[in-house]
Amino acid sequence: MSKKIALVTGPTSGIGYVTALELSRKGFDLILVARNEGKVRNLQKVIGEAVKTDFVSCDLSSISSVNKAVEEIKSRYSKIDVLVNNAGLIVQTKQFSEDQIELTFATNHLGPFILTTGLIDLLKAGDRARIVHVSSEAHFFAFFDIDKLVNPSRYQDLIVYGRSKLANILFSNELADRLKPFGITSNCAHPGTVASNFAGNGNGITALFMKLFRPFFNSVEQGAATSIYLATSPDVEGVSGKYFVNCKPGRTSAASKDRDSGKALWALSEKLVLKKNDLLIL
């Protein structure tokens, strides 16, 4: 029988690095989706040759880059068993992607949306495939406002980040509903506040908080544990549309449970992609 294949975005540092490493130790062949080829090559050396590892270049903030990555992956593989949407960012000042979409939303939601929906056929071909989205308790800071996603009128990094993490949960729940007939599960993981370099650069309030309190945060190994659990544990076989904290079901905000918001987010995401390249997706 062929080995199981896992795709991990953002595997070059932090919890993504640990997630990729642990999945390799569990025998998964890996598709490593990242921007920095040099860092991926270093990870491949650490993993060794016990499993197959493949690098696919991708900037998740760029619609064209994600579409190119999807086509590369589809040309090389006939199935995917686990997809871990791990990569994410928070930026202190308002910035836009090359597609003129607010950078946090573009990277944390729209890129994973294009990647995931573009690879649905490969997930259908997998063995009871699982999709894991790394979300955050920061979603409690946000309310769903569709008019503030692409170009928020006011910018506060933690609020905008929280809104993107809320989008992760809404997207995951909508995926769970749409993919139920195919036996594909979709769940979210909160890694905790992790002692990595995430959000630690710069001089803003969020960066200062991360620097001051880093000694009290979870290790990257602890942060990756829930993603690995959702990707591999028999305990969650068939479980879908849930949000996990410390490998257990966790509570979410009222906004994250609004299925109309999930459908509206999906429609907006399709509109943004169709406007860019006229491709039809799921």
Geometric angle at alpha carbon 11, from 7 and 14, rounded to 5°: 140
Domain count, the chain: 1
pLDDT of residue 281: 45
pLDDT of residue 149: 97
Residue bearing tokens 């993504």: 16
DSSP state of 130: E
Residue bearing tokens 């997207």: 171
Give the active site residue among 155, 161, 229, 243. Answer: 155
For 56, 115, 116, 163, the CA distances from 74, given in Å and listed in that order, are 11, 11, 12, 31
155 is known as an active-site residue: yes
pLDDT of residue 116: 98
- Comparing CA positions, the residue from 31, 32, 27 lying closest to residue 4 is 27
User: Is 110 within the bounds of a domain?
Assistant: yes
User: Is 282 within the bounds of a domain?
Assistant: no
Three-class SS string for 211-266?
HHHHHHCECHHHHHHHHHHHHHCHHHCCCCCCEEECCEECCCCCHHHCHHHHHHHH
CB atoms within 10 A of CB 263: 13
Q: Is 10 exposed, middle or buried (0-12, 13-18, 19+ CB in 10 A)?
A: buried
User: Is 112 within the bounds of a domain?
Assistant: yes
Element (H, E) at 132: strand 130-134
Tokens describing residue 110: 């729209």
Report the greatest alpha carbon distance in the chain: 53
**What are residue 176's phi and psi, to 5 degrees?**
-55, -40
192 Cβ contact list (under 8 Å, min separation 6)? 217, 218, 222, 223, 245, 246
Distance CA 252, CA 243 (A): 7
Geometric angle at alpha carbon 220, from 215 and 225, rounded to 5°: 130
DSSP string, 31-70: EEEES-HHHHHHHHHHH-SSS-EEEEE--TT-HHHHHHHH
pLDDT of residue 276: 55
Q: Give the HSE-up count for residue 154: Cα atoms under 13 Å, Cβ half-sphere.
A: 4
pLDDT per residue as tens, the chain (282 positions): 469 999 999 999 999 999 999 999 999 999 999 999 999 999 999 999 999 999 999 999 999 999 999 999 999 999 999 999 999 999 999 999 999 999 999 999 999 999 999 999 999 999 999 999 999 999 999 999 999 999 999 999 999 999 999 999 999 999 999 999 999 999 999 997 644 454 445 455 455 434 433 443 578 899 999 999 999 999 999 999 999 999 999 999 999 999 999 999 999 999 999 865 444 444
Strand, coil or helix: 90: coil
User: Is 243 within the bounds of a domain?
Assistant: yes
Domain coverage including residue 120: 5-277
User: Is 41 within the bounds of a domain?
Assistant: yes
For 127, 149, 188, 243, the CA distances from 229, given in Å and listed in that order, are 17, 31, 11, 12
Q: The domain spanning residue 84 has which CATH number?
A: 3.40.50.720
β-pair type (29-34, 130-134): unpaired
